[in-house]
Structure 1
């Protein structure tokens, strides 16, 4: 039986990451033929344990390597690009800013330059951006018409990548669509410095969950469940306005959650005795409140986040209980 995406020959950069794994699995289930550029393969990752590296063509090297990108796109006759590869952690971006810019900025313009040179074979380019591109705006929620103004290393790198993508679309008529996402959570996230997986790990280890707080107030975020995110990518893929229509979309739930309430919800979902959190005061590097308006995506793409936070947390806890927690792990600090 012919799959719904059997005509899709896609390059998925960052396929072995948290989001990339979910998207890769979905695209394969729909019959797509996939290729990825990977810096390395972590044998402990869900991507490797599920054997996804055996189901797609993998080119190993840097996403900033122009010639490697060109070889993958031409040899595999790629017609669709999902660009997810990025340094995605704020603290790492502060520690190694040059690597963040090398991956997030150079990786993007080299990829798009290859697509420009071979534009006759590329029909769709979908770029993963972030709510961080809006910077520390006092106006909430963010909508797509607000200026891009990221300032710290990670935010600035995503702002540059976003603007470069818009430039290639405007200047060279590349079929680019950009998705800006809020905080993403779900099973399979191996970065235990993030709030949701870090809290689950620590609670199963009978350790205090760690909550970061700011001297300026309480951190608040919009949390988007991974399955809703995958559907956002598919909505952009099926969008008919790649060439002439709107090309930037926010994807979020439209709701703000205090970090403390998310931690409490995880504790309640896990049915464990209450453990008092440990609070860490931060130095103001992170934006206090971030909140995306998803109204354009709803109106044009007919997309909405269908998973309530309570249900998404329940599915996430179930995932780690089935797949991850039987193995011993060293507890680490959970952050936003």
Structure 2
């Protein structure tokens, strides 16, 4: 995989976000040329600014809903590969802003794919959705790519709609052009540099450094927690796989192994082990907003077809995340070096991104 990315031109939406900024840095480390397209970061503290990403790449700070600007940005760059990560990513925000959520997630995806139709240089497109795109039946079995799409809340439902848009564009417009198009469905990613509101690890870190107790809802909720580098590695393997053949087009799950389903309360207890008695939390289970309690993914397709598998256990992912935040808090001027050390360590468990 590593040699594939050298000198590849990559267009990446959402590069100012948590996952997008990590992915951009990985691509740069592998020798790719990257252009980003996204809104400005949504939080004052963010990974994008902390690693000075804007100074390393071409970028357009713009809205996915501006079709003409998006189309012009892609056309002027003539990329080889496109990654679509930009989204309105929060469940609870979607209840208060449902129209914005559908506009950004569904029409934003349609805008991107429609703009890519006319650009001959593009050979593969990977659109990132979510594990929440499945109709959640609250059962014990992991969801497979063939399971029914759905979504109770506007965010989850919008991502199920994205999957339908991706499938329609793949069959209607890209198949005959011999362009690889696939969707990637990952769960709750964690890692250093995520300061988003209403996410468990960022809430934990903010509370800890403020010497406050963190308030947590749904302590027994199960999510496919994994480090941000795990799905990024999968997305890159997928983009490479579909670059030269349409055989592997379609949807792919990227989640932890079956025995790595971790409850919210387990993360709290692991955090207390790592941070010590100074870390305090309170559990409040009452909420008038529905959020799925049990959700896990079957990643057998990615394992068999892409030779992808998680490198870190859930406990290791949590520890690496907390380690990043502790080190960054004590030496914020070294954030870029810190992020690169985590990238190097991850890829050294197989291959180094510098090799």
Write the distance in 2 (CA, Å) between the matches of 1:257 and 1:6.
36
Write the distance in 1 (CA, Å) between the matches of 2:181 and 2:4.
22
The answer for the alignment partner of 2:123 in structure 1 is 123
Q: Structure 2 matches for 1:24-103, cutoff 5 A? A: 24-41=24-41, 44-103=45-104
Write the distance in 2 (CA, Å) between the matches of 1:278 and 1:20.
31
Write the distance in 2 (CA, Å) between the matches of 1:274 and 1:71.
49
The answer for the alignment partner of 2:268 in structure 1 is 263
Write the distance in 2 (CA, Å) between the matches of 1:283 and 1:94.
11
Write the distance in 2 (CA, Å) between the matches of 1:60 and 1:203.
32
1:65-88 residue CA offsets vs partner (Å, 9 max, x unmatched): 111111111111112110000000
**Which residue of 296, 303, 307 maps to 1:302?**
307
Q: Structure 2 matches for 1:1-336, cutoff 5 A? A: 4-41=4-41, 44-118=45-119, 120-139=120-139, 140-172=141-173, 173=175, 174-213=179-218, 218-240=220-242, 242-253=245-256, 254=258, 255-273=260-278, 275-324=280-329
The number of residue pairs the alignment matches comes to 322
Q: CA deviation at 1:288?
A: 1.3
1:209-242 residue CA offsets vs partner (Å, 9 max, x unmatched): 222128xxx3111101112122112211221475
Gaps of 5+ in 1: 328-336
Gaps of 5+ in 2: 333-355
TM-score, with structure 1 as normaliser: 0.90
8 Å CA contact 1:200, 1:266 repeated in 2: no
Q: CA deviation at 1:284?
A: 5.0
- The root-mean-square deviation of aligned C-alpha atoms, in Å, is 2.0
Write the distance in 2 (CA, Å) between the matches of 1:266 and 1:107.
37
From the superposition, tell whether residues 265 and 33 of structure 1 become closer, same or farther in structure 2 (CA, over 3 Å): same
1:277 is paired with a residue whose SS is: strand
